[in-house]
């Protein structure tokens, strides 16, 4: 027998409408209620984008060709990631079972944390660092243990060793780190993995191409090491959302249980092999950024603006109390930069992405004008 729908009442017109039947509302988990909201400033970005550490120019032209060849019929199919995972595994010198493609490294972090962190576990986080580690950890029942870097923002290795406990379950290391641009050495990573065998040591190599050093060769050797790489930065594919997580096959099996089989879309999967194949384009873009970084460092030094040494495609600078106005005036001049003042230990600091030499010459003009208007650095003397 068909039962009447208790949530529906006949409207005046005779159709069915839902009516509020109670004041009780479903409540999210308490951890979700207390977690911080994160709203990256992504609106109105039609300017020189030196705010999100993206590639500031374009991805490989070979990717454009692939996009042009995709048919509407191709879009009707669910994405198949396996064959592309094999290509990425071969590219990294690993077996396909050691590799999972993800919807950007953000999904990799989220899934890794969901797979390993449970109530009472500790995520050890050298700070300041990439915001999403703390955000995703706060949706789990684990505790985040923040380990503050000194004013030089170097990797707080000794302090991390002292903070290890039997409950340490993940140590998340962005290498190079954002927003500082500082690095952890290979020896430091190995030592942390050795001293905390119960913990996953996540090495997030989002900015690997600008640094040139990797721990990918250790994946076969150190059983608690996991590495992530994004295709959003040097490769210029941030809009396609694709990243990769690699680790021992056994850990990857657990991670795959949590990972959606469809989270990497078919456009990203179609484009990735061409992006990987075009090494010439990648090398050109990286060398352009490295040359621009050296030139821009000289501009900052001659303006007497304090900066932190960077191994990535961005530079953190100390603007001081006028950081908000600095970011605003740079944006009025057509250059977007990122205020990092609310990061732990970063009061007054602003992060500037490095693009091509030509773009950084434009940024240098706007910067010189801005510091002289605000009387910052040399302009204050
Ligand atoms: C250290 C680090 N990891 C991961 C990401 C995000 O990468 P994706 O775009 O692949 O999600 C960023 C982006 O800024 C980052 O700085």
pLDDT per position as a tens digit, 140-190: 999 999 999 999 999 999 999 999 999 999 999 999 999 999 999 999 999
Domain segments of the chain as ranges: 48-55+280-380, 69-278
* Strand runs labelled E in the chain: 8-10, 16-18, 48-49, 99-102, 122-127, 143-148, 168-174, 200-204, 225-230, 243-246, 314-318, 335-336, 338-339, 349-353
Residues of the chain with pLDDT under 50: none
The class (CATH top level) of 69-278 is alpha beta
CA distance 123 to 171: 6
Mutate to test the pocket of ligand 1, among 41, 100, 105, 316 (most ligand atoms within 8 A of CB): 105
Sign of the CA dihedral running 303, 304, 308, 310: positive
Give residue 109's pLDDT: 98
Q: Is the sign of the CA dihedral 283, 234, 310, 172 positive or negative?
A: negative
Q: Using the 8-state DSSP alphabet, how is residue 179 labeled?
A: T
- Predicted confidence at residue 58, as pLDDT, reads 96
The structure's pTM equals 0.93
Just give the CATH number of 48-55+280-380: 3.90.1150.10
Residue nearest to atom 3 of ligand 1 (CA): 206
The per-residue pLDDT for 263 is 97
- Whole-Å CA distances, 289 to 46, 284, 305, 330, 362: 21, 9, 20, 20, 14
Question: Which atom of ligand 1 lies closest to the CA of 231?
Answer: 10
How high is the pLDDT of residue 8? 55
Q: What's the gap in Å between 314 CA and the centre of ligand 1?
A: 13
Helix (H, G, I), strand (E, B) or coil at 379: helix
pLDDT of residue 13: 57
Rounded distance between C-alpha atoms, residue 155 and residue 153, angstroms: 7
Token digits of residue 301: 């030094």
Measuring from each residue's beta carbon to the nearest atom of ligand 1, which residues come in under 6 Å? 53, 104-106, 130, 174, 178, 204, 206, 230, 232, 238, 243
User: In 33-73, which ranges are E strands?
Assistant: 48-49
pLDDT of residue 41: 87
The pLDDT of residue 7? 57
């Amino acid at each position: 027998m068909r039962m009447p729908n208790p949530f529906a009442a006949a409207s005046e017109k005779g159709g069915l409408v839902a009516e509020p039947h109670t004041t009780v509302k479903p409540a999210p988990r308490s951890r979700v209620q207390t977690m911080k909201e994160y709203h990256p400033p992504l609106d109105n970005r039609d300017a020189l984008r030196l705010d999100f550490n993206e590639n500031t120019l374009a991805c490989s032209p070979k990717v454009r060709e692939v996009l042009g060849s995709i048919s509407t019929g191709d879009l009707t199919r669910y994405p198949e990631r396996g064959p592309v995972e094999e290509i990425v595994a071969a590219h990294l010198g690993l077996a396909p079972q050691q590799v999972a493609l993800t919807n950007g490294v953000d999904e990799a972090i989220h899934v890794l944390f969901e797979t390993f962190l449970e109530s009472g576990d500790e995520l050890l986080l050298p700070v300041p660092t990439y915001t999403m580690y703390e955000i995703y950890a706060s949706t789990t029942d684990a505790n985040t243990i923040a380990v503050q870097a000194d004013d030089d923002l170097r990797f707080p290795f000794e302090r991390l060793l002292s903070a290890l406990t039997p409950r340490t379950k993940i140590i998340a290391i962005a290498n190079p780190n954002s927003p500082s641009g500082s690095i952890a050495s290979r020896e430091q990573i190995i030592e942390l993995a050795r001293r905390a065998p119960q913990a996953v040591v996540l090495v997030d190599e989002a900015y690997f191409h600008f640094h040139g050093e990797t721990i990918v060769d250790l994946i076969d050797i150190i059983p608690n090491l996991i590495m992530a790489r994004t295709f959003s930065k040097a490769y210029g594919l941030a809009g396609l959302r694709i990243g990769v997580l690699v680790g021992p096959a056994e850990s990857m099996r657990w991670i795959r249980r949590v990972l959606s089989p469809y989270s990497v879309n078919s456009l990203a999967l179609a484009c990735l092999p061409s992006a990987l194949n075009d090494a010439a384009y990648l090398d050109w873009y990286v060398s352009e950024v490295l040359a621009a970084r050296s030139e821009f460092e000289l501009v900052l030094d001659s303006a007497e603006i304090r900066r932190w040494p960077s191994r990535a495609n961005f530079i953190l600078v100390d603007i001081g109390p006028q950081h908000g106005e600095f970011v605003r005036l740079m944006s009025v001049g057509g250059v977007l930069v990122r205020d990092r003042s609310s990061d732990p230990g970063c009061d007054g600091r602003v992060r500037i992405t490095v693009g091509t030499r030509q773009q950084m010459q434009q940024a240098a003009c706007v910067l010189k004008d801005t510091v002289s208007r605000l009387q910052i650095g040399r302009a204050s003397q």
